[in-house]
Amino acid sequence: MKNELTFDAVRKTYDPSGGAQFLATESTDIIIGQERAVKALQLGLDIRADGFNIYASGIQGTGKLTAVKGFVDEPAKRQPVPDDWCYVNNFEDLYQPTRIKLPAGRASDFKMDIKNLIRDARPALMRAFEHEDFIRKKTNITDPLKERQQELIKEVNKKAEEESILVEGTPFDIVTVPLIHGKPITDTRRSKF
């Protein structure tokens, strides 16, 4: 014989005025059956020196992150908010980034400021390198160097001609061309040095 249940019979409700009280669990109750892990986490939280971290390993999807967060949340609330640390390029040693310590919460602002600086600097640099004054100053430096380069090539060619060789400068390298009776041989026989 089947008895049909009413809605109220299958629905449970909680009446806070009924006097039932719940006990708050301690963080160690979050990690059940892992006494060694709890001791290691507690040790990690008790260390008050720089350079120490907590590392949890295990099978993915077993709740490690949730457990560790639950374990450290309460003690973390009682600690001062730590500073933000940013690592930026060290132009003197590319393998050792420079650390920058910022007040808590300022790292995101710093990141956005750097992003905006790069965005704004790029067109400003392009304009500067295309400006008349820059081009004039660059020309004042490069023209004498080009003239000196041509003079040196002429000197080298004069000596090379005595040995039946022609030296030609290209934008990328220097090419030697053998001469036969004072005339360069075909391009297919040229060699680079």
Indicate the SS3 state at residue 21: coil
Indicate the SS3 state at residue 166: strand
Residues sharing a CB contact under 8 Å with residue 16, sequence separation 6 or more, in sequence order:
none
**Contact between 89 and 97 (Cβ < 8 Å):** yes
Tokens 């640390």 identify what position? Answer: 85
**What does the DSSP 8-state code read for residue 91?**
S
Alpha carbon 80 to its chain centroid, in Å, reads 28
Mean of all residue pLDDT scores within the chain: 82
Task: Output the pTM of the full model.
Answer: 0.43
**What does the DSSP 8-state code read for residue 11?**
-
Could you tell me the two tokens for 108? Answer: 């995101």
Domain layout of the chain by residue ranges: 1-79, 132-192
Kindly indicate the confidence band of residue 75, based on its pLDDT and cuts at 50, 70 and 90.
Answer: confident
- Express each pLDDT in 113-168 by its tens digit: 999 999 999 999 999 889 899 999 999 999 999 999 888 878 887 888 888 888 77
Q: Does residue 86 carry a pLDDT above 80?
A: yes
Q: Which of 11, 45, 14, 10 is nearest to 27 (CA)?
A: 45
- In the prediction, which pLDDT does 29 show? 53
- Express each pLDDT in 20-57 by its tens digit: 444 444 444 556 677 888 888 888 888 888 888 888 88
**What does the DSSP 8-state code read for residue 170?**
-
d(CA 169, CA 176): 9
- In the prediction, which pLDDT does 19 show? 52
